[in-house]
Structure 1
């Protein structure tokens, strides 16, 4: 099984990257967050890999570190969550914030993630709440409900904005991609935006 790949980045988009290793190009499925953190094509890159072997395909999934890889595998143990949805979840929340939301059983916040409905959010909380505590040492102490505050890059406003865009009829993936583009354009400004400002900025990016 392939567990790690390092080489030259040939191309990337929001969901996949191609890495050249001694003349062989490996297509690796990644989260939007992982894609955002990759360098420009032509530069060296390394990813931790999970290899999925099925009768009809061998698929590689890439992660920036081993803890995120284990989190991905843990998400896949939940009924109804496969690799594609697990990557979508990792695209919507950074690992520490995701662990916090699940351990605190914050199903409302989880339903703002791409592809996560009420039942899926409840299953995540029910099946993984206790297991998420295993990531405390690696990702830092998880906040309590009383002290939990959004980080600058993951304020609750952006999740409320995503929910509002979906209520307007935009698909979850489209809404999140638009909001990610707003974040990438000016992370500091996006972190201070109100929900209505994020919605307007996202709509402009889709125009």
Structure 2
């Protein structure tokens, strides 16, 4: 089991990153709520990971804190929830929002997430309400504020590229292409980069 990696962040392609650890590049998929907290490309990053082995692939899912990883692990224990859907859930809302929605039995809020129908939402509430009580208020994680422009060498992405990257990320998280395109266009403003577009599109979907 690979539980934690530390290395140089060499690529960021939402929702996936590439981390160089002593010459070995690890591809890691993160929920977007954690993706926003990553440092700039070229800097050191520490990621808590969950390793998934399937017949056709070996996948690493990463988190910037242990609580998010534990919540992900509880999610994929639920009937009908696999790693991809767990990633989509924690991308569509922060850990604290998800915990609150489950505790308040807010099925309508959960249904707004990609891949979550009414029956799945109701099942999540039933299966997770008691199990998630252990997280408590002190461990809940809020969506981080928008990242400030730090003036690094990451130039503003061409507008069409930013839109395409944001749409691709949403599709990877479970949204249908037409829905992803509509969400991106609904929130797009001049000079927005792909991360900002993804953040705002996910908020608009709720």
User: 1: CA distance between counterparts of 2:183 and 2:56?
Assistant: 31
Distance 1:175 1:107, change over 3 A: farther
User: 1: CA distance between counterparts of 2:41 and 2:97?
Assistant: 29
Taking structure 1 as the reference length, what is the TM-score of the superposition?
Answer: 0.70
Taking structure 2 as the reference length, what is the TM-score of the superposition?
Answer: 0.70
Aligned match of 1:111: 111
Deviates more, 1:20-29 or 1:35-44: 35-44
> Deviation at 1:107?
0.3
Structure 1 residues without counterparts, runs of 5 or longer:
141-149, 154-168, 200-207
> Deviation at 1:122?
0.6
User: 1: CA distance between counterparts of 2:64 and 2:186?
Assistant: 22
Contact 1:8/1:42, CA 8 A, preserved across alignment: yes
Distance 1:35 1:175, change over 3 A: farther
User: 1: CA distance between counterparts of 2:196 and 2:31?
Assistant: 15
Aligned match of 1:48: 48
Contact 1:17/1:29, CA 8 A, preserved across alignment: yes
Deviations 1:107-141 (A, max 9, x none): 0011111221111111111111111211115425x
User: 2: CA distance between counterparts of 1:73 and 1:131?
Assistant: 11
User: 2: CA distance between counterparts of 1:63 and 1:180?
Assistant: 26
Distance 1:7 1:30, change over 3 A: same
Contact 2:94/2:143, CA 8 A, preserved across alignment: no
SS state at 2:112 partner? coil
Count residues with an aligned counterpart.
166
> Deviation at 1:54?
2.6
User: 2: CA distance between counterparts of 1:151 and 1:14?
Assistant: 16
Matches within 5 A, 1:123-134: 123-134=123-134
Aligned match of 2:159: none
RMSD, aligned CA: 3.1
Aligned match of 2:167: none
Aligned match of 1:184: 196
